[in-house]
Amino acid sequence: MPSPTLALAALDIADAEPHHMARVQAIYSHYVQHDLCSFEEEVPPVAQMQARRIDVQERGLPYLVALKDGEVAGYAYAGPYRARSAYRHTVEDSIYVAPDMHGHGIGTALLQAVIHRCTEAGFTQMVACIGHSGNAGSQRLHASLGFESVGVLRHVGFKFGQLVDTVLMQRALR
């Protein structure tokens, strides 16, 4: 297995473009179908993923892909934390890495870039709503970049026949 440093040397973080979205959808579909990190139960079609990307980018928020040797190895974005205007300075991050690319530093590179872009855009807080309290990898990733655990919402989701928690983590951006 290559070291994370070697993997990052060949990694480019870029704005997601329409031609990336089929691969983004393929990565996401794995988590929808096999994991508790997403509470979505039906895989959205590529057209819906395109619409989501456009919505995020039209809000001036980052929707990024990690390109390893030119191929999408993961993606991340920030969206509004809540719709009401009082939350306008707070964003929520989402990160998904191709299942065969874990452990190469891709999630870290993506989250660092999302944090940087949101800070530069003037946002003050970032929230991570981590599906499934057993998702230790995502919790470690967020903690390594300055997020603090602020709570657990018990049994708020139901997927694969089980009740699922959401872990809330938060980081100041300025």
Q: How does pLDDT run across 24-80, given as a tens digit for each residue?
A: 999 999 999 999 999 999 999 999 999 999 999 999 999 999 999 999 999 999 999
Residue 40 is predicted with a pLDDT of 97
* Mean pLDDT of all residues in 125-141: 96
Q: Residue 166: CB partners within 8 Å, gap ≥ 6?
A: 129, 130, 131, 132, 133, 152, 153, 156, 157
Q: How many domains, the chain?
A: 1
d(CA 26, CA 102): 16
> What is the torsion angle, in degrees rounded to the nearest 10, for the CA atoms of residue 29, residue 30, residue 35 and residue 40?
0
Residue 1 is predicted with a pLDDT of 41
CATH number at residue 44: 3.40.630.30
Quick one: tokens of 94? 């989402």
Mean of the per-residue pLDDT values of the chain: 95
d(CA 40, CA 140): 23
Q: In terms of residue numbers, what domain contains 44?
A: 4-172
The residue written with tokens 């999408």 in the block is: 72
Q: How does pLDDT run across 137-160, given as a tens digit for each residue?
A: 999 999 999 999 999 999 999 999
The residue written with tokens 């993506």 in the block is: 110
Alpha helices in the chain (DSSP H): 4-9, 21-34, 46-58, 106-120, 136-144
Residue 164, Cβ neighbours under 10 Å: how many? 20
Percent of the chain with pLDDT over 70: 95
Global pTM reads 0.94
Cα R_g (the chain), whole angstroms = 15
Q: Are strands 71-80 and 162-172 parallel, antiparallel or unpaired?
A: unpaired
